[in-house]
Amino acid sequence: MWNTLRKYVKSMLTISFPTDESVLADKYIQDWYKEVQTAAFMPSFPKLETVDAVVDAITMCIYIASPFHSAVNYLQNFYQAFVVAKPPCLCKPPPSSLEELKKYKEPDLVAALPINRQREWLLAAQVPWLLSFKVDDDRSLLNFAASQWNVYKYKTSPAEQKIRDISQKLYTDLQELQKAFYYNSTAMDKGAIPYMVLDPGLTAVSILI
């Protein structure tokens, strides 16, 4: 996913910034990284003095806000819907000393879980499910690529035709990724829950793209 996004970002950026010199000459890029390092208190943020540096920075922004965010957000149901694995509250205070901990047995643990509290149990199971709700088809990464390709499909200027070709390439690359994620998911052990979180058709598109 990272390589696919980076290829797209580099292709798009090199339309306006074909050389390292053009990056150095751009006031807004230079001001941006300096502001991040100072006003945003991120001194480790890299200097953007080459095309590759800008490509990496933009790719990271998109990656965090799109596939990385989807992998974290839409996985909540996998791990939290089983309330015992991640209870939202304890109904009994935890051990406060080593001696109490040594005496702590299974009945104490069960009593601490919201097992007999129907409201808390249902909320604990339903909230992760709601947060993991499937992204709308028109807001997916794959749909973004298809939409941009369609917008530029019949454009005639050289720059617009470049964007058309780049968008088409992103779309076909994402389709190949979709197959890879599907085959990886089906290759898991029998009985495992299908893992389609990073499917480009199910990954929310970042507003940053």
pLDDT digits (tens, 9 = 90+) for 4-33: 999 999 999 999 999 999 999 999 999 999
- 196, pLDDT greater than 80: no
pLDDT in tens, 95-106: 999 999 999 999
Q: What is the pTM of this model?
A: 0.76
**What integer pLDDT is reported at residue 209 of this predicted model?**
61
Task: Tell me how far apart the alpha carbons of residues 17 and 23 are, in angstroms, rounded to a whole number.
Answer: 6
